[in-house]
Amino acid sequence: MKIFVTGATGFVGSAVVQELIGARHKVIGLARSDAGAKLLAAAGAQVHRGDLTDLESLRKAAAAADGVIHTGFNHDFSKFAENCEMERRAVEALGSALEGSDRPLLITNGLALLAPGRTATEEDTPPAPSTSYPRASEAAAAALVARGVRASVVRLAPSVHGDGDHGFVPLLINLAREKGASAYVGDGSNRWPAVHRLDAANLYRLALENGAAEAAYHGIAEEGLLFRDIAEVIGRRLNVPVVAKSRGDAANHFGWFAMFAGMDLPASSQRTRDLLGWQPKQAGLIADLEHGRYFEPKQNAQAAPSSR
């Protein structure tokens, strides 16, 4: 198959490109810069220049492909609502090029607010986009399904880890360095799912090749690590104290990330494994942290999550 991939030079997207090429698919990767274009060409992918705001370019690339995997998203939380609207428009544009063709569109979403207070499953439906959480990728995909597009979703764990990670865990490490302490909220018993980027990439390929329309797949290798355990590894590796923060004090330590640091987000991927035969094989998050790569300066050059 010839697959168009958005976010193709990002942390997850670049692994998806490698996975697809390794399985003998042809990849068209979206690149917004010369540097990104060079990386894609070196990986063996065809380059399509553009970005998520260029809707006509997205339609053109999707129309020329046998399927689309959308992993691109700008994680600049200072303009989160704007980025969510940009993504909604991009998903709609991609889907419009596939309407009526039975060619698959696989989009990406997270797990935030999916099932507060219990273990989320693939059968759960996310709440409608709102001012408090405006991400609308899954709602946009559902609207496309109603128009006959073969769209489905991969919901990724909040911690997608591995070499090159510049997401939430490096953010916690940088905060611990800056504040001189590694922190958790309350008793730290809130849980975070995790998945290695290479396992996530394998899931995208399996979902593209074997998935059904309007299906939701969970990129979850570990259902719920205690946030306290993550904080303790960080504290030990940095040789700083590990401290508990009340919800009232959390904002002083975590800043904008305080809400996420206190979330309890356990999630299952059993249905995904059963349907697709997906079996995560890479190291878990704690083992990845213990290896030490996360604490090398180059690993943490970027403190805030960016486009996948």
C-alpha closest to that of 156 among 226, 85, 68, 217: 217
C-alpha closest to that of 98 among 4, 216, 201: 4
Report the distance separating Cα 268 and Cα 19, nearest Å: 23
pLDDT of residue 306: 38
Alpha helices in 165-226 (DSSP H): 168-179, 197-210
Q: Please list, residue by residue across 154-166, b when 16 or more beta carbons sit within 10 angstroms of its beta carbon and e when fewer do.
A: bbbbbbbbbebbb
Measured CA to CA in angstroms, residue 215 lies from 17, 155, 259 at distances of: 22, 11, 29
pLDDT of residue 303: 41
Q: Which helix (H) or strand (E) holds 10?
A: none
Q: What is the pTM of this model?
A: 0.93
pLDDT of residue 112: 80
- 10-residue stretch averages of pLDDT, the chain, 308 residues long: 96 97 97 94 96 95 97 84 92 95 94 87 90 87 93 95 91 96 97 97 96 88 97 97 96 92 95 96 95 73 41
